[in-house]
């Protein structure tokens, strides 16, 4: 049986299971990426931040903030507060970080706020490092919030779907500072608040319907 067919069967089986099983029966990895800009073809990843959710609880001992040794800081230091010294002292190879991330995502759903940006950079990095093809299921807390607003016919002002604005609607505290790990933690808390709003019977299937999908990372 080909690898392609195996991955399709795995996706089909996961889709079936997501209809039956409660959201808390799944594991999640909440990811944020700091970049030098917004264009994956011209800009690059500076750092990764992530934290895992297990049985509906954020596991703080899984929290990671990893700076890449290839990061070119320049004028972007004012955005993410990472310096050239941080890169030299703490920088990790992008390929190693992606391989580690792939390992963690084998049994977890990937969660992001505004998935198109993160997925675009991940796909570009995957191709650059020529890693084996890999598929993952994902949720986007921004898309979930937009669906919720549309269903309730609640008008949202410009900027109202930014992470901080979304958190404010659930009365979550404002975080000081801005780095990939802080934003990953903030997104994890937002996801749990969104799920609580949906009710105790919420399933992964319901979240997928509101703002989720499946992504395939390839070398092509």
- Helical (H) or strand (E) element with 137: strand 134-140
> Cα 178 vs. chain centroid, distance in angstroms?
16
pLDDT digits (tens, 9 = 90+) for 86-126: 655 567 899 999 999 999 999 999 999 999 999 999 999 99
Check which CATH number belongs to the domain holding 121 and give it.
3.30.420.10
pLDDT digits (tens, 9 = 90+) for 159-217: 999 999 999 999 999 988 779 999 999 999 999 999 999 998 999 999 999 999 999 99
List the beta bridge partners of residue 8. Answer: none
How high is the mean pLDDT of the chain? 87
Rounded CA-CA distance 219/126 in Å is 6
Q: What is the DSSP letter of 130?
A: T
Which of 25-34, 74-83, 130-139, 162-171 is predicted with the least confidence, judged by mean pLDDT? Answer: 74-83
- Maximum Cα interatomic distance, the chain, rounded to a whole number of Å: 51
- Helical (H) or strand (E) element with 120: helix 115-129
pLDDT digits (tens, 9 = 90+) for 51-92: 999 999 999 999 999 999 866 655 444 445 565 556 555 678
Rounded CA-CA distance 105/122 in Å is 13
b/e map 33-51, b = 16+ CB within 10 Å = bbbbeeebeebbbbbbbbb
Percent of the chain with pLDDT over 70: 81
Question: Does residue 80 contact residue 72 with C-beta atoms inside 8 Å?
Answer: no
The boundaries of the domain holding residue 119 are 3-217
Question: Does residue 68 contact residue 220 with C-beta atoms inside 8 Å?
Answer: no
pLDDT of residue 78: 42
SS3 annotation, 144-206: HHHHHHHHCCCCCCCCCCCHHHHHHHCCCCCCCCCCHHHHHHHHHHHHHHHHHHHCCCCEHHH
Rounded CA-CA distance 18/11 in Å is 10
The structure's pTM equals 0.87
pLDDT of residue 214: 93
pLDDT digits (tens, 9 = 90+) for 2-24: 556 655 666 656 666 766 789 99
Question: Does residue 87 contact residue 68 with C-beta atoms inside 8 Å?
Answer: yes
When divided into structural domains, the chain yields a total of 1
Rounded CA-CA distance 3/166 in Å is 39
């Amino acid at each position: 049986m080909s690898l392609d067919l195996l991955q399709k069967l795995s996706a089909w089986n996961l889709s079936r299971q997501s209809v039956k099983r409660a959201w808390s029966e799944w594991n999640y990895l909440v990811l944020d990426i700091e970049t030098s800009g917004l264009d994956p073809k011209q800009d690059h990843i500076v750092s990764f931040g992530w934290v895992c959710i297990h049985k509906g609880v954020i596991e703080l001992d899984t929290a990671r903030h990893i700076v890449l040794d290839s990061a070119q800081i320049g004028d972007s230091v004012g955005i993410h507060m990472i310096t050239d010294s941080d890169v030299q002292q703490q920088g990790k190879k992008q390929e190693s970080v992606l391989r580690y991330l792939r390992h963690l995502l084998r049994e977890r759903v990937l969660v992001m706020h505004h998935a198109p940006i993160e997925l675009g950079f991940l796909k570009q990095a995957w191709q650059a490092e020529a890693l084996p093809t890999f598929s993952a299921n994902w949720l986007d807390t921004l898309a979930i919030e937009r669906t919720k607003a549309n269903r309730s016919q609640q008008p949202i002002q410009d900027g109202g779907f930014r992470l901080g604005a979304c958190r404010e609607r659930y009365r979550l505290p404002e975080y000081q500072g801005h780095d990939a790990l802080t934003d990953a933690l903030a997104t994890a808390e937002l996801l749990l608040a969104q799920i609580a709003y949906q009710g105790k019977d919420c399933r992964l299937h319901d979240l997928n319907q509101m703002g989720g999908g499946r992504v395939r990372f390839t070398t092509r």
